Structure 1
Amino acid sequence: MTTGYGRARQNDIYTAGVHRRKPRVPTDFAELERRAKRAMSARAWAYIGGGAGEGRTMAANRRALDRWAIVPRILRDVSERNLEVELFGRRIPAPVLFAPVGAGSLAAPDADRLIGHAAAELGVPYIFSNQASVSMEAVAAEMDGVAPGAPRWFQLYWSTDDELVDSLLARAEEIGADAVVVTLDTTMLGWRPQDLNLGSLPFARGEGIAQYTSDRRFVDIVTERLRTAAGERPEISLGAIATLISITRNAPGRFVANLTSARPRAAVQTFLDIYSRPSLSWDDLAGLRGRTSLPIVLKGVLHPDDARRAVDAGVDGIIVSNHGGRQIDGAVSTIDALEEVAPAVDGRIKVLIDSGIYTGSDVFKALALGADAACIGRPHMYGLALAGADGARDAVADIIAELDLTLGLAGHTDVAALDRDALRRV
C-alpha cells in the first residue's frame, strides 16, 4: 500500500457518515474490545480476551508501548509514502499480518475461512492456526477465490508424533504457504483462570482441531487408539452429554453417524495427548530444515541469547511473542524484549512481533524498534465477532490506515527506513 491509503480510508468512513452510516467495527481498540465482549459468549471471551494468571503480562505489553513516544519531524515532503515490505521473497502491501488464533469458531462459525477471506482482500499474509476450526486446504481455497496466490503462512505446533509433524508440513507446502511458524511457547497450556473458572477448554469439545481431523496421519493414529481402547466406557453426566453433542457437531462427517461413533471422542482425546511436545529442544529444531523447504520462523522468542541461537541454527525469522499474555503471568513485554532482541539479530534474519499490538501507532513503534512487521491477533478476532469477514478485514484495515497517517504525520515516508531516532523513551 502506497501513498494515500490512510486518507482514503478516512474519506470512505466520513463519506458514509454523510448518510448517517457509522462503521460496524469501531475504529478505536477500547470500543472495539467493549463491543466484542458483548457480542461473544462467556466461553469465547474467556479464551480469546483472557490471559494468564492475573493478566500482568497483557498489561505489561501495553505499558511498554506507552513508555515510547513518537517524535514528529516537520517540513519534510511526505506526499509520497510507502508501506510495502519484503518477507521471504514476497512483497506485501503493509508490514502487518493476521496472527494465528486457535479455536476461532468461538468468535464466529467458520472463523478461519472468514479470516482468510479478509486477509486476501487486504493482500497481507494470514498465518493459518494449527488449532483451526477449518482445514488449511479449505482456507487456502477461500483465499485463492478472492485473490489467487494470496499470501499465507502456516503455524506448527510440534506434536509428539513425528509423522504427524511431517504430514502437516507437507500439507503446508502443498497449499502454497510462504513460511512455517513454529510456536515454541505453548509446549503446555499456561494457567488461564478465565477458562479454568468456566471449566472450558475448547479443544475438549472438538473446537479447533480441524487441522488434525483432516490429516491422514492423525486419522490413522485415532484408528489405532480405537483398536487398542476397545471396551473403555466414559463417565456419563449431563455435562458429558452436552460436550458429546459439541464434539459431534465439530467432527467431520454427518452428525447422526458421529453421534453413535466413538471416533469423534477418540479424536479429541488423541489431540489432547499428542498436539504438543514439552521435551522439544534445539536438537529437534536442528533437523527441521531437512523436513521442509519452507522458510522457518520461530514464534515465542523473548531473550537475546535465544535470538542469537536461532540465527546460528539457520532459521529465517523469529516472532518476538509472549503469546498475547496467555502463557506466563508476569512475563517480559514484547516491546521490552524487542529492544534487546533486534540488536542481537542485527538484520541477519527477519524479526516480527505480536502481543499487545492494537493500533497503527503501535505498529510504528515496533518497526522503529527493529521489527520488520507486526502480527495482529485480538483486534481481528474482535472484528470477526462483530461483523464476520468484513469485521476482521476492517479491524486490520484501520490499523494499516492509522500506520500510514502516523508515518506521514511523524515526517517519514517509508516504513522500512524507520529506526529508533523516530522515538523517545518517556
Structure 2
Amino acid sequence: MKSYEVNFDGLVGPTHNYGGLSYGNVASQSNSQQSSNPKEAALQGLAKMKALMDMGFQQGVLAPQERPDVAALRRLGFSGTDAQVIERAAKEAMPLLVASCSASSMWVANAATVSPSADTADSRVHFTAANLNCKYHRSIEHPTTSHVLGAMFANQQHFAHHAALPAVAQFGDEGAANHTRFCREYGEAGVEFFVFGRSAFDNRFPAPQKYPARQTLEASQAVARLHGLRDEGVVYAQQNPNVIDQGVFHNDVIAVGNGEVLFYHEDAFLETDKMLAELQGKLAKVGGNFQSVCVPRSAVTVDDAVRSYLFNSQLLSRADGSMLLIVPQECQANERVWAYLQSLTSSGGLIREVKVFDLKQSMQNGGGPACLRLRVALNETELAAVNPGVIMTAPLYGSLTAWVEKHYRDRLSETDLADPQLLLECRTALDELTQILKLGAVYPFQIN
C-alpha cells in the first residue's frame, strides 16, 4: 500500500497583523506595529500550496481561527455586545485586543503533534492539539484547532484525537515545531524525534537565561504516551539553550528532518553525538539508514539562520529519492546562507535542489515555510478517509483565491483592530470558508 507525507498548510487569517506578541521571536518583535497586508499574506501562502501540488506533492489546507476572539475577551471581564466588548478592550487594554486578533494559527506546525499509524499501539493516526501556553495569544487556539482537526480527520477507525495537555508551564507543548519523524518509508514504522528546551522537574538539564524555553521534556513524554509510541521508537533531545537565547524559539528554526535525513545547525542541540547515535541505532532496527547533514557555524552563524530561516524550510522527498529544500526568499538575500546552499546542492549530496518562495508577510511575523505546514503521514486508505474538502486541487485553489480576494483587506494596522466591522467581516468570510472546505460548524460563532 502506498503512503504519503501530506503537508497541510495554514491558511492565513483575515486579521493577520504585526502585533509583536512573541517574545523570543526576533522577527515578530522587530516588525511590531508595522502595517500588514492580510490579502497578500494569504495569497502568498496559497501560491506555495499550489506550487507544491503542481510538483506532485500531496497538499492540504488548514483553516484559520475566528478573530477577534470575543469569547476570550469576555473571559477577561469585558462585557456587552460583541461590538461593545471590542470597543471597551481597545479603550482599556489594547494589548489584550491585539492578542485576541492574532492570526498566529497560520503557523500550523504549532497546531498539534501527529503520529502516523505505523508508529502507534492501536494503528491509528494520533493528533494531540498543542496547548501553546507559553504565549497568551496562542494559548487560546487549541479548542478551535481541535474542532478543525476533528472535522478534517473525522473517521474514528483511522484517526484518534487528544485534547491539549494541561495548560501549565510544566507541560508547555508547542506541537510539531519541536517534533520530527524519521523513517525509510512513510507507511513503515519509524522513529519519532522530540526536542525540548527544558525539563520542568529535573534541574540537571540547563535552561536558557534570556528567552523562555517553550517545550518541556515532560510535555513531549506525555504526547508520546498518549499516542501509544514504543520506547524503541522515540528519541528525546535537548535544544541548545544558548541558541534559544539567540532567538531560536522552536527547534524548526535550527533543524529540519524528513525521511531518513536530519538537516541541522552545528549548535542546534546538546550532546549531539549521543543523539545522532541513538537516532541511527533505533532507525536501523526498523530497517532505516539514518543520515545527517550538519551546517557548520563557520559557514552559517546562528544569527544567519534566525534571520534567513534557513532551517525553517521544507525538506521534501522526490520520487527519485533525492531531496528538495523549500526556502524563503530571505535565504537568497543572505550572502552567506545562499553561498552555503549553492555549495550544498552542487556537491551531489542528499539535498539536490533548492526552491525559493516569497513569504514576506509571514516571515516578517516570524514564520517561514516549515511554520506554515503540519505534516501528516498517511497510507492510501487513511488519505481516502480524510475530509476531501481540505485536499488541495486546482479548483479548490481557484475557490480559495477568489475567497481571499473577496473578503480580505490589503492593509491592517493596530488601530484597525478596534473596528467592530472587522469582526463581522471575519465571521462572514469564515462562514463561507467552512462551506468551501466542507468542515461543518467548527467556529464558536457557528456552534454557540
Q: TM-score, normalised on structure 1? A: 0.28
TM-score, normalisation: structure 2:
0.27
Higher relative contact order, structure no. (Cα contacts within 8 Å, ≥ 6 residues apart): 1
**Which protein has the bigger strand share?**
2
